[in-house]
């Protein structure tokens, strides 16, 4: 895979450039699209349903930004091997590089979104504090989780395309179960341990602690998510490389 790093980087750049070239306002869509999406949630939950008071908007936007990075990357990466089938029949390339290209593309867009979120939070009086030292660990946890699940979903969808439809529903369920609109601590106490079994709920909760409450998140849980996800990623990559040609043969 390392010998293809230049290709992964350039392909991700090409995808971003191509996407921007197709649209009238080009790269501005990276900012406009998530803002529109967040605005929809803001209008529904903050204005129509009148939830949470003035602190609710930063709370909602923090959760949404992280969820968007996770879900949009998994969706794009899951179809990446299938979409590259023609190219894979022309040139000898490892299938494992295609989910990585999608991850890189989506992560660049997320970084832009995250910077906008930070600017918004600073404008709302949330200062950058010492708790920001935990940000790399939060990013590492979510990035590792994305690496692991993207490879797994890409291989599964390549062989059984129907799984992409199921994946859409699973991600929708994840959206409801990850505490985007509500705080996990508002759940009944008996439910809370189960709620935090969802790694995205732990990561989103941790990010809110850092950005909104100036607190250090539960480091043990985050290290555990990072380590397990990274091991999962290594196992998936090893399997993809080992059964590389078989996956290509059974790809639809």
Partner 1 sequence: MDTLTRMSINEANKEEILSFDQVSYFFSQRKGFTKRKKFWALKDVSFNICRGETVGILGHNGAGKSTVLRLLAGIYEPDQGQITNCGVSVSLLSLQAGFVPYLSGRENSILSGLTLGISKKKILEEIEAIHAFSELGDFYDQPLHTYSTGMRARLGFSIAFRVDPDVLLVDEVLGVGDSEFQQKSASKMREKIRGNKTVVLVSHNTHLIRELCQRAVLIENGHSIIQADTETVLKRYLESKNQKAL
Binding-site member from 2, 24, 47, 90 for partner 1 (CB under 8 A): 90
242 binds partner 1, rule: CB under 8 A: no
Q: Rounded to whole angstroms, what are the CA distances from 229 to 16, 26, 147, 219, 225?
A: 26, 34, 8, 15, 6
Binding-site member from 24, 48, 50, 91 for partner 1 (CB under 8 A): 91
CB environment 2-36: b (16+ within 10 A), e (fewer): eeeeeebeebbeebbeeeeeeeeeeeebbeeebee
10 binds partner 1, rule: CB under 8 A: yes
Close Cβ partners of 120 (under 8 Å, ≥ 6 residues apart): 58, 61
Stretch of 43-51, 63-71, 84-92, 231-239 lying at the interface with partner 1 (CB under 8 A): 84-92
**Closest approach of partner 1 to the CB of residue 167, in Å:** 20
Of residues 132 and 250, the one with the C-beta less far from partner 1: 250
Binding-site member from 2, 54, 92, 127 for partner 1 (CB under 8 A): 92
Burial class (CB in 10 A: 0-12, 13-18, 19+), 232: middle
Looking at residue 190, the DSSP 8-state letter turns out to be T
Binding-site member from 14, 172, 219, 227 for partner 1 (CB under 8 A): 14
165 binds partner 1, rule: CB under 8 A: no
Binding-site member from 88, 145, 167, 203 for partner 1 (CB under 8 A): 88
* C-beta separation of 209 from 92 below 8 A: no
Residues that bind partner 1 (CB under 8 A): 6-7, 10-11, 14-15, 17-18, 21-22, 87-93, 245-246, 248-250, 252
């Amino acid at each position: 895979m390392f010998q293809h790093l230049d290709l992964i980087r350039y392909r991700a750049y090409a995808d971003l450039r191509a996407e921007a070239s197709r649209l009238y306002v080009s790269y501005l869509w990276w900012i406009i699209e998530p803002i529109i999406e967040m605005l929809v949630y803001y209008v529904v939950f903050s204005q129509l349903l009148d939830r949470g008071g003035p602190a609710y908007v930063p709370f909602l936007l923090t959760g949404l930004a992280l969820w968007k990075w996770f879900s949009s990357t998994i969706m794009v990466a899951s179809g990446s091997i299938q979409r590259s089938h023609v190219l894979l029949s022309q040139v000898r390339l490892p299938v494992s590089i295609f989910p990585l290209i999608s991850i890189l593309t989506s992560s660049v867009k997320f970084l832009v979104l995250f910077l906008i979120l930070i600017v918004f939070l600073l404008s709302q009086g949330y200062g950058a504090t010492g708790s920001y030292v935990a940000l790399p660990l939060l990013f590492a946890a979510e990035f590792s989780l994305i690496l692991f699940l993207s490879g797994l979903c890409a291989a599964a969808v390549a062989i059984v395309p129907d799984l992409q439809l199921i994946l859409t529903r699973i991600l929708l369920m994840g959206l409801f179960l990850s505490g985007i609109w509500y705080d996990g601590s508002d759940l009944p106490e008996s439910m809370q341990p189960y709620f935090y079994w969802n790694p995205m709920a732990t990561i989103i909760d941790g990010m809110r602690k850092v950005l909104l409450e100036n607190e250090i998140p539960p480091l043990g849980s985050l290290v555990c998510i990072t380590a397990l996800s990274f091991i999962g990623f290594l196992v998936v990559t090893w399997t993809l490389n080992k059964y590389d040609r078989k996956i290509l043969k059974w790809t639809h």
